[in-house]
């Protein structure tokens, strides 16, 4: 878990990660560890930066659940664990914000997503068929990029 070899994690640090995993595993489709959730968030951000396939546009918010997991896990982690991972999370969040645009305020995410700013954004770039229907909240329409 530690990117810096000079920082030793304590039993309390490891226990905080285990508590988060246990508490959140029943609410999320995957029993992520902290590292897995961060890695999944990185993969989601990379996909969004490259352009979301219009075929999967309606599943877009489901892909953000790894960020939801991190949001809920963060307060359960020790200060040391958060400090070690904060710069990685902040960097991924910044990349996500740069690769997305804000939804119109009256149509932002509701319910379980309230207060989770990443659900109030949509991809700036999409790939796929230009005629494919996109969610109305993705306005103005994203730019199309070529598929590889």
Domain boundaries, the chain: 11-144
pLDDT above 90 (res 73): yes
State residue 77's pLDDT score: 98
State residue 64's pLDDT score: 95
Residue 143: burial class (beta carbons within 10 Å; 0-12, 13-18, 19+): exposed
CA distance 45 to 64: 9
Mean pLDDT of 13-21: 96
- Mean pLDDT taken over the chain: 89
Place 27 in a pLDDT band, splitting at 50, 70 and 90: confident
State residue 104's pLDDT score: 76
Give pLDDT tens digits for 76-119: 999 999 999 999 999 999 999 999 999 876 554 455 566 799 99
pLDDT above 90 (res 36): yes
CA distance 98 to 123: 9
The gap between the terminal CA atoms of the chain, to the nearest Å, is 33
Dihedral angle of Cα 104, 109, 115, 120, to the nearest 10 degrees: -40
Look at residue 36 and give its three-state secondary structure: helix
Q: Which two tokens stand for residue 61?
A: 């918010």
Q: Which helix (H) or strand (E) holds 114?
A: none
Contacts 24+ apart (CB under 8 A), 33-40: 34/1, 34/73, 34/77, 34/81, 34/85, 35/1, 37/66, 37/69, 37/70, 37/73, 38/70, 38/85, 38/88, 38/89, 38/92, 40/66
pLDDT above 50 (res 2): no
pLDDT above 70 (res 18): yes
State residue 125's pLDDT score: 97
State residue 148's pLDDT score: 62
């Amino acid at each position: 878990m530690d990117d810096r070899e000079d920082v030793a994690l304590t039993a309390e640090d490891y226990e905080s990660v285990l508590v988060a995993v246990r508490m959140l595993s029943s609410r999320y489709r995957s029993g992520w560890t902290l590292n897995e959730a961060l890695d999944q968030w990185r993969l989601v951000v990379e996909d969004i930066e490259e352009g979301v396939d219009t075929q999967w546009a309606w599943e877009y918010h489901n892909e953000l659940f790894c960020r939801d997991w991190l949001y809920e896990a963060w307060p359960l982690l020790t200060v040391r664990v958060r400090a070690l991972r904060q710069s990685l999370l902040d960097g991924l969040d910044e990349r996500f914000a740069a690769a997305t645009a804000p939804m119109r305020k009256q149509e932002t995410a509701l319910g379980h997503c309230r207060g989770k700013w990443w659900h109030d954004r949509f991809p700036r770039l999409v790939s796929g068929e230009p005629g494919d229907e996109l969610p109305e909240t993705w306005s103005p329409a994203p730019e199309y990029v070529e598929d590889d």
